[in-house]
């Protein structure tokens, strides 16, 4: 294990309220999650990322907090949360939480006070304009669901800015008191024992909003300041940020260019996510090769977080129109599967036609690419979506644990569940659940356990450097390698459906007893690497050599 734990972590993202309900009220809770930690330990995840846990009217699934210093009472108490941290730590699992400080709920006492009077001590905690801003109808993040970014508040008799929904007023980052408060929030949770934060909407947090200017400048110094604060409070804490921006802007989120990363430790790789989808849709690795080539060089300590699915729609907005159309045609052909004119609100298994070989290929590929893999709960058993639910709720259905009513998620009356469990068709809990897959050594769950175990023996993926192996390849095949102080891993992934043979003999001189460590089937000896067989949608992870001195 390298010095930086997050480089070789496997992050598992879950929403406590849809994971496991211990008290039968229909909402998942901390005690339910504690009861599932052994499952998570066996799966091999090393870090949990909890979607927002704060009190909230839940108009945006918790991304609208009313108190940053407490937990949503539906999930339990702060005591239960502390117990969760303790029990997770006992199993070597860290916990990070969402830090959603671009905005609050409009029900937050700060906003309630701010709107009540221009003299409120909280007035300047938000962003106001006396007159209707010219850019009122620009910059919406949720087109179709959101119609403006400035709304008039009758009580305040002023316009307030909200990058997201109307009920999420933006905090004013230019106010030093807001900055101090954000730092205090991080201190509080670090003191309780979290290992860091998934920072929501970072480009918008640092936006120095001015009415009428849709291209407001950004204050990156706040990220430097926050990083320093967090690191002093807890040396091994991480910031994992959501910053879905153009690739050339990414480096400045990691650091100020002075060499070492002094801002965000890890960024979600949205660019790779879109390109992975494109490559899968076209059965052509070119988009991934481009992504590997175009990846900006990271400062020391900087790291990518890779993902196939998260709790939001798959955002295809950075693909060209042709590329986007190809992905939509293949994976989200019905209008009902699409969202915001840019994305897909589906889980991976149904997108890939519930084809086990294709699902394995996709996840083997993600987990072998540079960075720290992030896995969304339920993907390890191949859960589906419920398109009858609104918007992004389609992919936020309860975890399917067993054959029991409600898929074992809760003993509540099905009518009382936070969201319905999927109970019909190929993805119903009767067919897709943990209990069934735990008992089956050939299940997708068993495969994930094996794959993640293999990753433990391949630290080069997380902390080494990854490059495309640029030799002639059969159509559809990606060959890449990861090099680190511990040795070299080589990966073959066949995005196409045809069986092929691959010649990697140019690597033979570097090889030292090369062996397959993860494959979709038995391929026999790797031999001289000159005639490596690879099935349609097949993959081979090959250890080329291992350093004996490290
Ligand atoms: C990004 C989060 O991922 C999304 O779920 C949320 O709606 C917005 N930020 C607003 O907080």
pLDDT digits (tens, 9 = 90+) for 163-218: 999 999 999 999 999 999 999 999 999 999 999 999 999 999 999 999 999 889 99
Check 242, 385, 449, 460 and give the catalytic one.
242
For range 142-170, the mean pLDDT: 97
Specify whether 183 is located in the same domain as 289.
Answer: yes
Residue 490 covered by a domain? yes
* Residue in the structure block whose two tokens are 């009580």: 155
Q: Is 313 in the pocket of ligand 1 (CB under 6 A)?
A: no
Q: What are the C-alpha distances in Å from 518 to residues 13, 284, 491?
A: 24, 22, 9
Q: Which atom of ligand 1 is nearest to the CA of 100?
A: 11
Q: Is 63 in the pocket of ligand 1 (CB under 6 A)?
A: yes
For range 430-455, the mean pLDDT: 98
Tokens at residue 148, please? 């403006």
Mutation choice for ligand 1 from 141, 171, 201, 390, CB with most ligand atoms inside 8 A? 201
Residue 310 covered by a domain? no
Q: What is the pLDDT of residue 220?
A: 97
What's the chain's Rg over C-alpha atoms? 23
For range 452-472, the mean pLDDT: 96
Q: What are the C-alpha distances in Å from 49 to residues 195, 295, 403, 416?
A: 10, 25, 27, 26
Q: Helix 176-192 vs helix 78-90: angle between axes, to the nearest 10 degrees?
A: 60
Specify whether 366 is located in the same domain as 386.
Answer: yes
What residues make up the domain containing 469?
462-546
Q: Are 146 and 164 in contact (CB under 8 A)?
A: yes
| pLDDT tens string 385-441 | 999 999 999 999 999 999 999 999 999 999 999 999 999 999 999 999 999 999 999
Whole-number Å distance between alpha carbons of 61 and 65: 10
Q: Is 539 in the pocket of ligand 1 (CB under 6 A)?
A: no
Q: Is 516 in the pocket of ligand 1 (CB under 6 A)?
A: no
pLDDT at 134 over 90: yes
Final residue before a domain boundary, out of 298, 318, 337: 298
Specify whether 358 is located in the same domain as 436.
Answer: yes
Q: CB under 8 Å to 431, separation ≥6 — which residues?
A: 425
Q: What is the pLDDT of residue 3?
A: 80
Instruction: Kindly report the protein residue whose alpha carbon is nearest to atom 6 of ligand 1.
Output: 63
Specify whether 187 is located in the same domain as 154.
Answer: no
Residue 337 covered by a domain? no
Interstrand relation of 266-268 and 303-306 (parallel, antiparallel or unpaired): parallel
Check 200, 315, 379, 385 and give the catalytic one.
200
Max Cα–Cα distance, the chain, nearest Å: 77
Specify whether 407 is located in the same domain as 430.
Answer: yes
Residue 339 covered by a domain? no
Specify whether 190 is located in the same domain as 291.
Answer: yes
Mutation choice for ligand 1 from 149, 164, 204, 376, CB with most ligand atoms inside 8 A? 164
Would you say the C-alpha torsion 126, 130, 136, 139 has a positive or negative sign? Answer: negative
- Number of domains the chain is built from: 4
Residue 341 covered by a domain? no
The CATH number of residue 189's host domain is 3.20.20.80
For range 506-534, the mean pLDDT: 96
CA of 201 to the centre of ligand 1 (A): 7
Q: Is 241 in the pocket of ligand 1 (CB under 6 A)?
A: no
| pLDDT tens string 34-64 | 999 999 999 999 999 999 999 999 999 999 9
Task: Output the DSSP codes for 408-423.
Answer: GS-SS-GGGSSSPPP-
Specify whether 110 is located in the same domain as 95.
Answer: no
Specify whether 469 is located in the same domain as 445.
Answer: no
Q: What is the pLDDT of residue 549?
A: 65
Specify whether 466 is located in the same domain as 542.
Answer: yes
pTM: 0.98
| pLDDT tens string 73-131 | 999 999 999 999 999 999 999 999 999 999 999 999 999 999 999 999 999 999 999 99
Q: Which atom of ligand 1 is nearest to the CA of 102?
A: 11
Residue 327 covered by a domain? no
For range 122-144, the mean pLDDT: 96
CA of 99 to the centre of ligand 1 (A): 11
| pLDDT tens string 306-322 | 999 999 999 999 999 99
CA of 232 to the centre of ligand 1 (A): 28
Q: Are 105 and 168 in contact (CB under 8 A)?
A: yes
Specify whether 93 is located in the same domain as 115.
Answer: no
Residue 151 covered by a domain? yes
Angle at alpha carbon of residue 114, lines to 112 and 115, rounded to 5°: 70
Instruction: Kindly report the protein residue whose alpha carbon is nearest to atom 2 of ligand 1.
Output: 200
pLDDT at 1 over 70: no
380 annotated active-site? no
242 annotated active-site? yes
Q: Is 49 in the pocket of ligand 1 (CB under 6 A)?
A: no
Specify whether 41 is located in the same domain as 150.
Answer: no
Q: What is the pLDDT of residue 548?
A: 73
Averaged pLDDT of the chain: 97
Q: What is the pLDDT of residue 550?
A: 58
Q: What is the pLDDT of residue 222?
A: 98
The CATH number of residue 530's host domain is 2.60.40.1180
Final residue before a domain boundary, out of 434, 457, 480: 457
């Amino acid at each position: 294990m390298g010095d930086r734990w997050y480089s070789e972590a496997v992050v598992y993202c879950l929403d406590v309220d849809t994971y496991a309900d211990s008290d039968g009220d229909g909402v998942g809770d901390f005690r339910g999650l504690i009861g599932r930690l052994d499952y998570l330990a066996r799966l091999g995840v090393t870090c949990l990322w909890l979607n927002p846990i704060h009190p909230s009217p839940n108009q945006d699934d918790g991304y609208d907090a009313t108190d940053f210093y407490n937990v949503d009472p539906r999930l339990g108490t702060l005591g239960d949360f502390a117990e969760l941290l303790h029990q997770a730590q006992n199993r070597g699992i860290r916990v990070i939480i969402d830090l959603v400080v671009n905005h609050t709920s409009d029900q937050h006492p700060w906003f309630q006070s701010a709107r009540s009077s221009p003299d409120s001590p909280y007035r300047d905690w938000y962003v106001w304009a006396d007159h209707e801003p010219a850019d009122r109808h620009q910059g919406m993040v949720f087109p179709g669901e959101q119609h403006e970014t400035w709304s008039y508040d009758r009580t305040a008799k002023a316009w307030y800015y909200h990058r997201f929904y109307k009920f999420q007023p933006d905090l004013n980052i230019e106010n030093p008191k807001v900055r101090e408060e954000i730092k205090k929030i991080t201190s509080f949770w670090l003191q309780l024992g979290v290992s860091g934060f998934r920072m929501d909407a970072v480009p918008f947090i640092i936006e120095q909003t001015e009415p009428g200017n849709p291209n407001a400048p950004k204050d990156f110094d706040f990220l430097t300041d926050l990083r320093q604060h967090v690191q002093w409070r807890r040396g091994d804490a991480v910031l994992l940020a959501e910053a879905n921006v153009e690739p050339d802007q990414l480096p400045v989120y990691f650091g100020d260019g002075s060499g070492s990363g002094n801002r965000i430790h890890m960024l979600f790789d949205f660019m790779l996510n879109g390109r992975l989808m494109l490559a899968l849709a076209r059965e052509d690795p070119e988009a991934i090769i481009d992504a590997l080539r175009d990846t900006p060089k990271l400062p020391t300590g900087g790291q990518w977080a890779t993902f196939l699915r998260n709790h939001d729609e798959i955002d295809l907005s950075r693909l060209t129109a042709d590329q986007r159309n190809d992905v939509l045609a293949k994976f989200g052909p019905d209008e009902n599967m699409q969202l915001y004119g840019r994305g897909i609100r589906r889980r991976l298994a149904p997108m890939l036609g519930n084809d086990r070989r294709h699902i394995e290929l996709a996840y083997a590929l993600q987990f072998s690419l540079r960075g720290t893999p992030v896995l969304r709960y339920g993907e390890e058993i191949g859960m589906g979506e419920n398109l009858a639910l609104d918007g992004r709720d389609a992919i936020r259905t309860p975890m399917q644990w067993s054959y029991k009513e409600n898929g074992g998620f809760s003993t509540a009356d099905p009518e009382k569940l936070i969201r319905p469990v999927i109970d019909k068709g190929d993805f119903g809990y009767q067919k897709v659940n943990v209990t069934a897959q735990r008992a089956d050594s050939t299940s997708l769950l068993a495969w994930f356990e094996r794959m993640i175990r293999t990753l433990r023996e391949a630290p080069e993926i997380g902390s080494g450097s990854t490059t495309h192996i640029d030799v002639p390849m059969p159509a559809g095949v990606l060959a890449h390698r990861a090099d680190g102080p511990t040795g070299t891993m080589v990966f073959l992934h066949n995005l196409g459906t045809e069986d092929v043979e691959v010649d990697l003999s140019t690597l033979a001189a570097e090889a030292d007893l090369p062996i397959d460590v993860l494959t979709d089937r038995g391929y026999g000896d790797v031999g001289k690497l000159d005639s490596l067989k690879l099935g349609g949608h097949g993959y081979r992870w090959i250890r080329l050599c291992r350093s004996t001195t490290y």
